[in-house]
Amino acid sequence: MSMDPKVIKQFVAAWYLALDNHAPTEDLAALLTDDVQMIFPEKTLPGIADFKAWYAGGKYSDGTDAPGVINIFFDENHNVVSVLNGEAAPEYCRINFSDGGGI
């Protein structure tokens, strides 16, 4: 199943606008599906409950502490550079961003 690039761009715009505005956890969670899986180098977050812990703080489903990214990472200095829909795996997309220091 291929994803519509327009839908992907709309999602990315809504996602980053919500992050930029430090939207309430529930507003961001509403953009996700129940089976969301966020993969970071340090941890994979399975499901909305782990997303909420990652975003606002609390405990992950494995019992480890989550400080909450709104408390440590939002320095307002990140820019979306590109959004790519993968042809080999169209159900995934790659979002590239810079730290504000240039591309």
Q: What is the pLDDT of residues 41-72, one digit of tens each?
A: 788 999 999 999 999 999 999 999 998 887 66
In a domain? residue 32: yes
88, part of any domain: no
Tally of domains in the chain:
1
Give the burial string for 78-95 (b: 16+ CB within 10 Å, else e). Answer: eeeeebebeeeeeeebee
**12 belongs to a structural domain:** yes
Residue 92 scores a pLDDT above 80: no
- pTM, whole model, 2 decimals? 0.65
For residue 16, tell me if it sits in a domain: yes
pLDDT of 6-33, one tens digit each?
Answer: 888 898 899 989 988 889 999 999 999 9
- What pLDDT does 76 receive? 54
91 lies in some domain: no
Q: Which residue range forms the structural domain that includes residue 52?
A: 5-77
